[in-house]
A and B are shown apart, each in its own frame.
Chain A
């Protein structure tokens, strides 16, 4: 038996996504910028994808821009917004548990002279609105907060943040990294006060190398990729028609039977957590039920190195992620997220992330729990002194 429980790393492409991609590569393979009918045919796929995505968020299709994925969306949103608004100020606020695709562009902006405030989080991984309020300055131009944390599934209070930011000054831009949230939550940027929102295709059964950035109309944003002027000059480069068609299909599918799917994810999560709690010396790092994301369970296994457990599970066809990249003799930086939530030091290198998708079954969870029950005592018996 196999159990792929690493859906926050990437997901399997849906058959309908694959089919539309094959079609746009082999039959309707035109370049949308071409004047002939092949080009027009290809353009139709872009339009459809844009409409499908816009519909999931109740926004205007003109506000959707396709990118090469979550990393590009985040880079563009942050650097593009900072450069376009630097006359209004050079201060940016974010959290201390963002993904590297947010942290690194912000560090780049710091080199250019921008100031960045990194808000701390509590043990559940939540920022405090008080902290945010205190951090907002006259020259703050941008606030960037992730919707769902990729390691521990913490959900930030996006609606409250949006209200606070826009209540402070309506021209402060609000960027949300929704890479782990899109498809799992109904996200309506207009209601939430979001100006920029990043999404990645391969986290929702779409193809790798695809994603989009939602850019609220009239948002001041500089393009980063210049060239032939595609996508209204905001993101040049021949449109990745197969990727975009696949992404559009995946987005549409993600919100089909949405309630049922999310209920299934919460059921999987509850079942997993219940099983983990029966195992001795474990600690769950994510919140209960709807307090945290439906598809992420983060567990520390006291006395067991996560990498060893990961490989031991792998031998049984169970695929998971270690919460931190680590190795005993070379001290690599362990996960900053786990440090930021003040996880006990001994648990930092013992943490695994299990992440589900709608296709994950209860049987897979049971299979994984059984494997853990067998493996943990053995792995705990043999250890470094």
Chain B
């Protein structure tokens, strides 16, 4: 059983002076991810590498799954860590490693030695040759292929010596928190959790805003959004979920404005309120799950109309995705099943039969004039009565 993992990371390696900050963030995220996994884990940095040592019993599958949710990790390598007891013993270790890990028959292989500890008396090429010879002797049938080997056997000589050959792919991206925070507009649907996931993958921490409209939407619908936030938080870390009671604003718009503009106007106020909470939580952008043309409120004209109310950037990571692409990711990250639970969400309760698909901004603004009397007060009340749920 492997007692050590070597964690490979990509992009953060190139971040120059900030590199150590990124590495520290990654170590931190790894520790958090392993918190809920059975086992005693030690996560540490050594010479530009991140290692995880395990004491005693642990669940290999569960450990790998947890690590695969940590953005910034490119590869997870189960490693055999040995003391330096000379080249002869190292040969024995490599043979032991191979017979434990593979059914050695007639594979091609290559030994790739990295001598990070320059004081090691034998040069890399010589170590390669020597270990290669030992492997050939130990497993009849195997052969060397230096160009396209089936088994690439890495031997890294540091304080200790690390032997590994398997690289389990990680999620990539950047460690969460290294690129600031954004405010996700989270509904109960399929798209917004995926959008949150994709932005979190770029190292961005998340808070979220959800609009509910009791009695038109139920407590169960709200619980569903909390559950979705929990699933996203497995990747993004803790989320402060802002639950805004939107009913009065919605009914007021319904009373005063043309019904085919209802959705657009409503969404403009949602963006305004979300932007307000972005300011309060030091989020630098809004994130939505919109994709061009998916519904009436996501045509380019509609997107322009809702975009217009925001001063901070609005990120729409799914903008060019087909529904099926989004569903695929939702299934992969485990939000799909929760997303499709059938509860009414507040965007659809009063939706017109034929909502405008090419809203004219001037017309929308004229309609919004009719709201002047009470809308500021209603928005203020909605903000003041918002419930913040911390989701971990």
- Point out residues on A near B: beta carbons under 8 Å: 307-315, 327-330, 332, 382-385
Contact = CB atoms under 8 A, between A and B. Distances in A.
Contact of B352 (A310, A329, A385): A385
Interface string B341-378: 01110001111110000000000000000000000000
B254 interface: yes
B215 interface: yes
Interface in B207-223: 214-219
B344 A307 contact: yes
Contacts of A328: 344, 348-349
Nearest to A329: B348
Interface of B: 214-219, 251, 254, 259, 342-344, 348-353
B214 A315 contact: yes
Given A384-B350, A384-B351, A385-B259, A311 B214 contact: yes
B322 to A, nearest CB: 20
Chain B interface main SS type: loop
Contacts of B216: 308, 311
Contacts of B342: 327, 329-330, 332
A154 to B, nearest CB: 28
Contacts of B350: 382-385
Nearest to A331: B342
Nearest to A311: B215
Contact of B344 (A313, A329, A385): A329
14 contacts: A307-B344, A308-B215, A310-B215, A311-B217, A312-B215, A313-B215, A314-B215, A328-B348, A328-B349, A329-B342, A329-B344, A382-B251, A382-B254, A385-B350
Given A327-B342, A382-B251, A384-B351, A315 B215 contact: yes
A330 B350 CA distance: 15
A312 B251 CA distance: 14
Contacts of B251: 382
Contact of B218 (A307, A313, A330, A332): A307
The 4 closest A-B pairs by CB, nearest first: A311-B215, A330-B342, A312-B215, A327-B342
Contacts of A309: 215
A383 B343 CA distance: 17
Given A308-B216, A309-B215, A314-B215, 8 more contacts: A307-B218, A311-B215, A311-B216, A328-B349, A329-B344, A382-B251, A382-B350, A384-B351
B336 to A, nearest CB: 15
A169 B85 CA distance: 91
A23 B342 CA distance: 42
Contacts of A314: 215, 219
Interface centre among A307, A328, A385 (most CB of B within 10 A): A385
A327 B254 contact: no
Contacts of B352: 385
A129 B350 CA distance: 46
A320 to B, nearest CB: 12
A255 to B, nearest CB: 37
Contacts of A385: 259, 350, 352-353
Contacts of B343: 327
B219 to A, nearest CB: 8
A271 to B, nearest CB: 25
B353 to A, nearest CB: 5
Interface centre among B216, B219, B259, B353 (most CB of A within 10 A): B216
